[in-house]
Amino acid sequence: MGLKGFAEGGVASIIAGASTHPLDLIKVRMQLQGESHIPNPSSVQSYRPAFALSSTANISLPTSFEPPPPPRVGPLSIGVRIIQSEGAAALFSGVSATILRQTLYSTTRMGLYDVLKHKWTDPDTNTMPLVRKIVAGLISGAVGAAVGNPADVAMVRMQADGRLPIDQRRNYKSVVDALNQMSKQEGVASLWRGSSLTVNRAMIVTASQLASYDQAKEMILEKGLMSDGIGTHVAASFLAGFVASVASNPIDVIKTRVMNMKVEPGVEPPYKGALDCAMKTVKAEGPMALYKGFIPTISRQGPFTVVLFVTLEQVRKLLKDF
């Protein structure tokens, strides 16, 4: 309990986050697919006919041309495309931001959840009701997200940078450079852009992920399906990852788009806020757009959750005498 819980959760989260970073990057790229903003009139080319026609001819020619939207592709195709166009190392773009995010966000949420779990566990039965687990997850997720939001913004931007035209890329050298440039160019407040979404998502993810894992693990052990070993940890982790993915994906899509939007002085931003982003997304792409990137989300959330909790259980064994 105490600081040891923060240390255990931090180590496990950093290992899980770094090892599954490429899947998270692909998820972000998929969530940004189909995002479009109305082009400026000056950016749309006008075409004039190469020859003049008689004024009596009743023929109309197009005066402008808009390229068709790019086809939407799956996670495997996006991964291959990233490797082909940006190199294999691009799959780890923003990994420094991921490590900082896990250090701030996940260390806080895992440690605080552990503190609340020890406080609210029934000493007689040594169990905690599901409702209390959910409340503990909501509280710890909110606090962790507020602490880690700057790293989250930097991570999203660094992961999405490769999809932009070369002349529009931000080209952050590291997470420190990203935070520094955002503070200078857009103000310190930009580091907490989308923080309400981050907090809401973190509350849902933490409550569903940690509560589901603890509940599933308890049920497996109570029914005697498996002993308290890696098999139990993996099974409970997969269930927790699935529940967290289904619950959090819509908020995650909106969060990604709000954090990634480019704000320039004197230019109206693409989205006025989270609700505006959600409405524009659903109107332009349909309600299922809120589940864009779900396959890579579950593909990442499953391994991430398994690595997180299996590592956490092993770290707890190593530090049990401290």
Instruction: Tell me the β-bridge partners of 127.
Output: 122
CATH topology of domain 3-33+74-318: Mitochondrial carrier fold (1.50.40)
SS3 46: strand
Q: Is the pLDDT of residue 290 over 80?
A: yes
Higher per-residue confidence, 18 vs 267: 18
- Give me the chain's average pLDDT, please: 83
Report the range of poorest mean pLDDT among 42-46, 129-133, 199-203, 318-322: 42-46
CA distance 86 to 84: 6
CA distance 191 to 315: 32
User: CB within 8 A of 40, min separation 6: which ones?
Assistant: none
CA distance 206 to 305: 11
Report the range of poorest mean pLDDT among 11-15, 72-76, 135-139, 202-206: 72-76
Q: What is the per-residue pLDDT across 10-31, written as a single tens digit (0 to 9) for each?
A: 999 999 999 988 988 888 888 7
CA distance 166 to 86: 11
- Helix axis angle, 195-222 to 107-120, nearest 10°: 50
Q: Are 99 and 7 in contact (CB under 8 A)?
A: no
Q: Are 310 and 37 in contact (CB under 8 A)?
A: no
pLDDT at 62: 52
Task: Pull the structure tokens for residue 218.
Answer: 């308890």
- Region 210-223: mean pLDDT is 92
- Letter string b/e over residues 227-242, b meaning 16 or more CB atoms within 10 A of that residue's CB: eeeeebbebbbbbbbb
Nearest to 16 by CA among 87, 101, 133: 101
- Region 141-145: mean pLDDT is 94
Supply the pTM of this predicted model: 0.71
Confidence of residue 40 (pLDDT cuts 50, 70, 90): very low
